[in-house]
Amino acid sequence: MQLIDGKAVAAQIKQEIAAEVAQIIAAGEKRPHLVAVLVGHDGGSETYVANKVRACEEVGFKSTLIRYEQDVTEEELLACVGRLNIDTDVDGFIVQLPLPKHISEDKITEAIDYRKDVDGFHPVNVGRMSLGMPCFLSATPAGIVELLRRYRIDTSGKHCVVLGRSNIVGKPVSMLMIQKGYPGDCTVTVCHSRTTNIREICLTADIIIAALGVPEFLKGDMVKEGAVVIDVGTTRVPSDKTRSGFRLTGDVMFDEVAPKCSWITPVPGGVGPMTIVSLLKNTLLAGKRVIYP
Ligand code: GUN
C-alpha cells in the first residue's frame, strides 16, 4: 500500500501558482483577486472559508471575505452577486454552501456570472465539463483527477466506482472519469443511497471514489486486492483528543481498507488540500482570462 499525499502535492502546486503570481506582478499586471461570500456561522463553512482565504494569501492573491448573517434575504444575496459580477477588480468569487433554507442555492448559483464562477458550479461550467470543453472544473473533482495524474495512476479501461451522487462531487467526478483521455477512459458505476448491492459492486472496482459523507462507510471486505481508493469524506465527528473538539473522518475505514490497496488517500491530508488548490488554479485562470477571454 502506498499513500497518496495530497498535502505534499498541494504544497508543490501552491509553489507553482506563487511563482506564476510573482511573474504577473513583475510584468506590472493585476494581482488575481478571489472573493468569498459566507452566510451565517456554520463551523465547517467558517473553517473552509478561512482556509481558502489563507491559501490566497500564501500564493500572493488578493482575497476578500464578505459576511452576511444567517437571516440575510435572498434578494440581498442576489444583489451582492450582481455587484461582484460587474466589479472589474474581482476575477472570481464563490458563495460558500450550504445556504440557509430560505435561500435557493440554485438561484444564487445561476446568478453568478459563469466567467467568474471559480467553484465551477454554474450550469454553463457543469455543461461544458460534461462536453469536455474548457471550463472552470469544480474544485474537488479537479483535485481528485490531479492527484491521479501526479501519481501517474493508470485509469484506462479500469472500473471506477463512485460512491455518492452529489452535484459537487459524485456527479462531476463520474463525468470526468469517463472522459476520453487521461486521467479518464474508465468504465464508471455510480452508487448511492438507493443502490442495493454496493458491496458486490465495490468488489469489482479497480478505483473507488468514496464521496457519500458517511463516516467509515467503506469497509475492508468491500474492496478487492490492489484497488485504488480515494476518500472524499470530511465529516466532523466529536473528539476529546483534539483542541478543536472534533476530528475529520473519511468515508473509508482506513485501517481495514488500506492494507488491501495499491494506493489510498488519507483523511486529513488527501483530497482536502487539493480542493483548495483547484480553487486557486481556477482563480489564476480567471485573472488571466484563459478560459473565457
Ligand atoms: N461547500 C462545500 N464545498 C464547497 C465548495 O467547494 N464551494 C462552495 N462554494 N461551497 C462548498
Per-residue pLDDT of the chain (293 residues; tens, 9 = 90+): 999 999 999 999 999 999 999 999 999 999 999 999 999 999 889 999 999 999 999 999 999 999 999 999 999 999 999 999 999 999 999 999 999 999 999 999 999 999 999 999 999 999 999 999 999 999 999 999 999 999 999 999 999 999 999 999 999 999 999 999 999 999 999 999 999 999 999 999 999 999 999 999 999 999 999 999 999 999 988 999 888 888 999 999 999 999 999 999 999 999 999 999 999 999 999 999 999 99
**Which grid cell is 148?**
491521479
Residues with CB under 6 A from ligand 1: 94-97, 119, 139, 168
231 and 216 Cβ atoms separated by less than 8 Å: no
Sign of CA dihedral 14, 16, 17, 19: positive
**Which grid cell is 84?**
461582484
- Ligand 1 center–CA 28 separation, angstroms: 32
Gap between the Cα atoms of 31 and 61, Å rounded: 6
DSSP, res 218: B
Gap between the Cα atoms of 232 and 252, Å rounded: 9
Hey, which of 80, 84, 97, 138 would you mutate to test ligand 1's pocket, going by the most ligand atoms within 8 Å of its Cβ? 97
Question: Nearest 5°: CA angle at 19, between 282 and 6?
Answer: 60
- Ligand 1 center–CA 189 separation, angstroms: 24
271-287 helix and 6-26 helix, angle to the nearest 10 degrees:
20
Which atom of ligand 1 sits closest to the CA of residue 98? Answer: 1
What the chain holds in terms of domains, given with CATH numbers, is: 26-116 (3.40.50.10860), 139-273 (3.40.50.720)
Outline where the chain has alpha helix (H). 6-26, 43-59, 74-86, 105-111, 123-130, 139-150, 170-177, 198-203, 254-257, 271-287
Q: Which of 122, 107, 112, 121 is nearest to 86 (CA)?
A: 112
CB-count burial class (<10 Å; 0-12, 13-18, 19+) for 170: buried
List the catalytic residues: 52, 96, 119
Gap between the Cα atoms of 40 and 289, Å rounded: 32
